[in-house]
Amino acid sequence: MAADTDEDVRWPVAAARAADAKNATDVVVLEVGEVLAVCGLFVIASAPNDRLVRAIAEEIEKVVGEAGGPKPIRTEGLDDLRWVLLDYGDFVAHVFLQESRDYYDLERLWSDVPRIDWRQEQPPDQDEAAG
C-alpha cells in the first residue's frame, strides 16, 4: 500500500493527531506496508501512565469515527493498559505505556520503513472546509 495519497493516510493522520491532542508522547506514523502484509501503516504513541494510555486509545477511536473513518476491527490490551492495539485493517494504532514502548522498541524493529509526517499532511476535512 503506497501512502502517497490522502485516502491512504487520512485515518492514520487523524489517529496521530488525536493521540497528540491527548498529550501522547513521541507520536509516529510508520509506512510498514512494503514489509508487512497485514496492514499499511502503524501509528505509535505512548503515555507515562495507564490512565492516559486508555484516554489516548479512546480519543483515537472517537476522533477517527467522528471524522467518518472506520471503527476498529478489534481492540486489544484494554485490560492491563500496557500496550493497547487498535486494529483498523489498513492501519494499526499502538498506544504504549512508556516503559512497554521502551521495551518493545517498534521504531527500531521497523527502522528501515518510511515515516509519514502527520503534522504536515492535510487534515481529513480540510478540502470540505475550504470549499
The pLDDT of residue 75: 97
The per-residue DSSP string of 95-126 comes to EEEHHHHHHH-HHHHTTTSPEE-TTTSPPTTH
The pLDDT of residue 127: 45
Amino acid at 79: D
> For residue range 84-101, what is the model confidence (pLDDT) as tens digits?
999 999 999 999 999 999
The pLDDT of residue 65: 96
The residue ranking higher by pLDDT, 1 or 8, is: 8
- Mean pLDDT in the chain? 88
Question: What is the bridge-based pairing of β-strands 115-116 and 25-31?
Answer: antiparallel
Amino acid at 24: A
The pLDDT of residue 124: 52
pTM: 0.86
> For residue range 106-123, what is the model confidence (pLDDT) as tens digits?
888 889 999 999 998 665
- Is residue 1 very low, low, confident or very high in pLDDT (cuts 50, 70, 90)? very low
Architecture in CATH for domain 6-116: 2-Layer Sandwich (3.30)
In the predicted model, is pLDDT for residue 49 greater than 90?
yes
Domain boundaries, the chain: 6-116
Cell of 126: 480540510
